[in-house]
Chain A
Amino acid sequence: MEPLLTIQGPEAMLFWVLAPLSVIAALGMLLVKKAVHSALLLAWVMITEAIFYIAQDALFLGIVQIIVYTGAVMMLFLFILMLVGVDSSDSLSETITGLRPIAITAALGFGGLLVSLLGRATLGREPVGLTVANAPGNVQGLAVLLFSKYVWPFEVVSALLITAAIGAMVLAHHQRTNIRPTQREQAVNRFRSGSLAGAAGLPGPGVFARHNAVDVPALLPDGTPAPSSISATLKARGDVIDSGQFQLDNVDTTVKEEK
C-alpha cells in the first residue's frame, strides 16, 4: 500500500492551485456587495470542492456535489434572489454597533485555535487510502453501506426530505386573505387617501426631451430630482444616474414677444 501521508504529483499540484482559489472565492463571498456575485463565488467554491472529492477517491460524492449543489441548490438560490430582488440589505455597512470587530475577533480566535489544534493533533494511524474499499467501485461500495448498515438512517432521511418538500410547499403557498382590489377600487382609494398629489399616479422617470431612460429621476419644478419617479430596486442597486446634468440651465428660456 502506498504511504499516503505525503501526497505527491498531480494531486498536490491540484491542491495548491485550487485551495487558494477557493479560499479567495469564499472571502470574496463576504466582501462583494451583490448577492448574485456571492452566489457565483459560492458556486465556484463548490466546484473546487467537487474536484477535491474526486481527487480523494469520492467519485460519487463529487458528481453529486456538482449536480445537487452547483446545479440544483445554487439554482434555487438564484431563483430566490430573483424573486426577492435587491434591497438595502445588500449594503456592507454594519448596522449593529460593535458586532463586526467582535465577530472578526471571535472568528480569528476560532479559526486560529482550530488550526493550531489540528497542527498539534496526531492521526494515530497511517492513512489507509480507499483503494481497497473502492475495489468494487465507489458507487457500489457506497450502495452496499447505504442499504445494509445505514439503511435505517437512509429511510429516515428520505422521510425528512419528503417532509421538507411538503413543508416548503405549505410555506410558499400563498392564500389571499382579502379580495384583490379592482381597478375601480384602486382608483377610488387613490383619490380618497389624503393628498390629491398621488391621485394621478407616480411621476414617470426621465428628464423630458433630454433623457428618458428609467434610471433617470424626473425633475421637480424646483429642480430637485423626484425620488418617487424611479424603481426602488434601481435605487438599491445604486444604478441611478444624476439627472441634474440634464437640466435645462443653459437653454435660453426667455420668451420673445411676438406680435
Chain B
Amino acid sequence: MVTNSGLVYLIALPLFGALSLLLLGRRADKWGHLLATALSAGSFAVGLFQLSEMLGRATESRPVTQKLFTWISVGSFNVDASLLLDQLSICFVLLITGVGTLIHIYSISYMSDDPDRRRFFAFLNLFIAAMLLLVLGDSYLNLYVGWEGVGLASYLLIGFWNQKAAYATASKKAFIMNRIGDMGLSFAIMIAFASLGTVSFSGVKENAHSASEATMTAIGIMLLVAAVGKSAQFPLQAWLGDAMAGPTPVSALIHAATMVTAGVYLIVRSNFVFDAAPTAQLLVAIIGAITLMFGALVGTAKDDIKKALAASTMSQIGYMILGAGLGPAGYAFAIMHLLTHGFFKAGMFLGAGSVMHGMNDEVNMRKYGALRKFMPITFITFGLGYLAIIGVPPFAGFYSKDMLIETALNAGGVKGILLGGTALLGAGITAFYMTRVMILTFTSPKRWDDNQHPHESPILMWAPMAILAIGSVSSGFLLSRGDALKHWLEPLFEEHGEHTELLPPIVVSGLALTMVAIGVALAVVKYQLSEVEAVAPENVTEFTQIARRDLLQDEINEALFMRPGQVLTSVLVKFDESVIDGAVRGIGQIAMGSGSSLRRTQTGFVRSYAMLILIGAAALIAAIWVVTL
C-alpha cells in the first residue's frame, strides 16, 4: 500500500479552523467565517490534488495510507491511528469538502445577522473534520472516532439556537437516538475484536471468509444498527424531522448531503461483512425498502418545507440502503445515488433556506405560493433539483435511482419483485410529494399576507445553489457514463457473477417514468388545479392525520420505550433510595457515630497524644510481660 503524508492535511485544516475559532473566541468574530471557509476550501483543494494523484496511478496502487501514530498497543491488540484514502473515500472526501465549502459560503450570508456566527462556523469546521476522519479511518475504531465526532457536531448544530427549548430538545433527541446506533457500532467492533482479533478494515476483510457465518451476521446486524441510527432509517428515524430545528445550511450539509449518508458508507465499506452474511444483507435491503416508503408517505403530508425535505431525505437514504443491501450489484449505485443526492438535496435545502430567508423564516408551505416571480434564481435552482430527485431524464436522479430500481428488480425471485416494486412505488410517491412542494411554494397562487416582502437572496447564497444545481443536472450523467463510477469502485468489491435480468432496462425505465408521471399528475390535479387552503384542513382521512404525525413514530417510541423506561427508572429510583442509599447511609451513620465518640480523644493537645503514646508503651510492656510469663 502506498503511503502518503498529505492525507492528514485533509483533516488538519478544518480541525485547526474549529479549534482556533473556538479558542480565540470573540477576537475571531470579524474574520472567523472567512478563515473557516478558506480552510474548508483548502481541504477541498487537497482532496482534488489527491484525486489527480490517484488518477495517475494504476488501479491496484490507488489506495494510499498514512500512519499518524500508534494509538493502542496492548498485547495482541494493536490499533494505529492511520488514514486510508481509496476510491470509495475519495468520493466522500470530495463530496464533504466540496458541498461543505459551498455551504460555508452560503452560510456567510445566511448567518450574517446571527451574533454567534463564529461559533457556527467553528462547529461546521468541526463537522467537516470529524466527517473526514469518519471516511478516512482505516479501521472501525478510527471510524468510530469520526462517527462520534459527527454525532457531536450534529448535536451542537441542531441545538445551535438552543435558547429555544424545543430546539434544545430536538438536539438531545437526535443525540440520544444516535447513541443507540453508536452502541451498535461499538458492539460490532467488540464482536470483531473478540472473534477475529482485529478491527481494521483489511484485517476483517481477510478473516471474513474464515469466520463463521453467525459471527459475520452478528457483526453485520450490529453495523446495520449503527447505520440505521446515523442515517435515520426505520426504526430509528424519528430524530431527523426534529433535527430540522438547526439552521438550514446545517440541514443541507449534515442532515441531507453528508452525515446521514454515513450509514450507507459504513455498509458499503463493510461490504465484505455483508457478503459473508446473507441474512444481514437481506435485512439491510428490507430496512431500506421500509424506510423509503416510510419517508415518502410522511413526505406527502408535511406542510413544513424543511420537514418535507427531511422526509424526502429519509426516503432517498432508504433507496441507498436498499441498494447497499443488494450486494455487490448495488454498492456502486448506492454510492452513485448518494453522490447525486448530495448535490440535489443540498441544493434544495439551500433553496428552502433561501425561501425562508425571503419570507421572514416562515416554514409553512401553505403560507407560500407564487414565489416564482419573486425568487427566480431560487425557483430555477430548486426546480433543477426537483427534476433531479423525481428522476426525470437526463437529470442526476434519473440515472442513480433508475439503476437502483433495476438492481432491486433483478435481485431475483420474490425478494426482487417486492423490493423492486417498493422502489418503483416509492419513485411515484416521491414525484407526488416533491411536485406538491414545488407547487405549494412556487407556482400556486399566493397565500401570504401583505406584510411579507419576498425577495431574492444575495449572490453569496444563490451562487452555491447554482453550482449545486449544475451538479444536480450533470452529475448523474457524468458518473454513469460508461459505468464510470462502477468501474472506479469495482476493485473494492468482491467479484460477482452475472445476474439475471427480470425485465430489460428500457422497460424498467419506462415503468419508473410512468410512476413518476402519475405522481406528478396527481399532485398537479390536487394542488395546482384546485384551491389550496392556507390553513391545513382538519377534515382529512385517517391516513393523512397519521402521516402528519410522522406515521405515529413518536407515539410508538413513547409507548414502547419511554413509558416503560420511566416506570423502570422510578422503580430503580425507589430501590436506590430505600435499599442502596439506606445501606450507604447506615454505614455512614455507623462511621459518624464512632467518629463522634472517637473525636473526644482528639483534643488537639500534644500532651494528651503523648499520654496515649505512654499508655500504648505501657500496654506493650504489659504484653511482653504476659508473653514471657
Q: Which residues of A contact B (CB under 8 A)?
A: 96, 99, 102-103, 106-107, 109-110, 113-114, 116-117, 120
Q: Is the beta-carbon distance between A113 and B605 smaller than 8 angstroms?
A: no
**Which chain A residues lie closer than 8 Å to B628 at the CB level?**
117, 120
Does chain A have a CB within 8 A of B625? yes
Of A102, A103, A116, the contact of B625 (CB 8 Å cutoff): A116
Does chain A have a CB within 8 A of B622? yes
The 6 closest A-B CB pairs, nearest first, are: A110-B618, A113-B621, A109-B618, A106-B615, A106-B614, A103-B611
**A-B contacts, CB under 8 A, total:** 34
Of A99, A114, A116, A117, the contact of B611 (CB 8 Å cutoff): A99
Of B605, B607, B621, the contact of A110 (CB 8 Å cutoff): B621
Alpha-carbon gap, A107 to B621, bound state (A)? 12
Q: Is the beta-carbon distance between A117 and B625 smaller than 8 angstroms?
A: yes
Q: Is the beta-carbon distance between B618 and A106 smaller than 8 angstroms?
A: yes
**Which chain B residues lie closer than 8 Å to A96 at the CB level?**
603, 605, 607-608
* B574-629, CB < 8 A from A: 603, 605, 607-608, 611, 614-615, 617-618, 621-622, 624-625, 628
Nearest residue (CB) in B for A103 is B611
Q: Is the beta-carbon distance between A103 and B614 smaller than 8 angstroms?
A: yes
Alpha-carbon gap, A190 to B49, bound state (A)? 84
Alpha-carbon gap, A106 to B614, bound state (A)? 7
Alpha-carbon gap, A113 to B615, bound state (A)? 12
**Known A96-B605, A96-B608, A106-B611; contact A117-B621, beta-carbon cutoff 8 A:** yes
Q: Which residues of B contact A (CB under 8 A)?
A: 603, 605, 607-608, 611, 614-615, 617-618, 621-622, 624-625, 628
8 pairs, CB–CB < 8 Å, chain A vs chain B:
A96-B603, A96-B607, A99-B611, A106-B611, A106-B614, A109-B618, A110-B621, A117-B621
Beyond the given pairs A109-B618, A114-B621, A116-B625, 19 more chain A to chain B contacts, judged by CB atoms under 8 angstroms and listed by A's residue number, are A99-B607, A99-B611, A102-B611, A103-B611, A103-B614, A106-B611, A106-B615, A107-B614, A107-B618, A109-B622, A110-B617, A110-B618, A110-B621, A113-B622, A113-B625, A117-B621, A117-B624, A117-B628, A120-B628
Alpha-carbon gap, A109 to B615, bound state (A)? 9
- The secondary-structure label for the interface of chain B is helix
**Which chain B residues lie closer than 8 Å to A103 at the CB level?**
611, 614
**Which chain A residues lie closer than 8 Å to B615 at the CB level?**
102, 106
**Which chain A residues lie closer than 8 Å to B603 at the CB level?**
96
**Which chain A residues lie closer than 8 Å to B611 at the CB level?**
99, 102-103, 106
**Which chain B residues lie closer than 8 Å to A99 at the CB level?**
607-608, 611
Nearest residue (CB) in B for A120 is B628
Of A110, A113, A114, A120, the contact of B614 (CB 8 Å cutoff): A110
Shortest CB distance B355–A (Å):
71
Alpha-carbon gap, A117 to B622, bound state (A)? 9
Shortest CB distance A122–B (Å):
11
**Which chain B residues lie closer than 8 Å to A117 at the CB level?**
621, 624-625, 628
Shortest CB distance A60–B (Å):
30
Alpha-carbon gap, A106 to B616, bound state (A)? 9
**Which chain B residues lie closer than 8 Å to A116 at the CB level?**
625
Shortest CB distance B623–A (Å):
10
**Known A96-B603, A120-B628; contact A113-B618, beta-carbon cutoff 8 A:** yes
Alpha-carbon gap, A114 to B603, bound state (A)? 29
Nearest residue (CB) in A for B618 is A110
Alpha-carbon gap, A117 to B607, bound state (A)? 27
Alpha-carbon gap, A106 to B615, bound state (A)? 6
Alpha-carbon gap, A116 to B618, bound state (A)? 13
Nearest residue (CB) in B for A94 is B607
Shortest CB distance A117–B (Å):
5
Shortest CB distance A188–B (Å):
39
Alpha-carbon gap, A247 to B611, bound state (A)? 49
**Which chain A residues lie closer than 8 Å to B625 at the CB level?**
113, 116-117
Shortest CB distance A100–B (Å):
10
Alpha-carbon gap, A107 to B608, bound state (A)? 14
Shortest CB distance B183–A (Å):
59
**Which chain B residues lie closer than 8 Å to A110 at the CB level?**
614, 617-618, 621
**Which chain A residues lie closer than 8 Å to B617 at the CB level?**
110
Alpha-carbon gap, A37 to B268, bound state (A)? 97
**Which chain B residues lie closer than 8 Å to A120 at the CB level?**
628
Nearest residue (CB) in A for B629 is A120
Alpha-carbon gap, A102 to B608, bound state (A)? 10
Q: B617, B618, B625, B628: which has the most chain A beta carbons within 10 Å?
A: B618
**Which chain A residues lie closer than 8 Å to B614 at the CB level?**
103, 106-107, 110
**Which chain A residues lie closer than 8 Å to B621 at the CB level?**
110, 113-114, 117
Alpha-carbon gap, A102 to B622, bound state (A)? 17
Alpha-carbon gap, A109 to B611, bound state (A)? 13
Alpha-carbon gap, A158 to B410, bound state (A)? 94
Alpha-carbon gap, A99 to B612, bound state (A)? 10
Alpha-carbon gap, A106 to B611, bound state (A)? 8
**Which chain B residues lie closer than 8 Å to A107 at the CB level?**
614, 618
Nearest residue (CB) in A for B622 is A113
Shortest CB distance B626–A (Å):
10
Shortest CB distance A251–B (Å):
51
Nearest residue (CB) in A for B603 is A96
**Which chain A residues lie closer than 8 Å to B624 at the CB level?**
117
Nearest residue (CB) in A for B624 is A117
Shortest CB distance A139–B (Å):
35
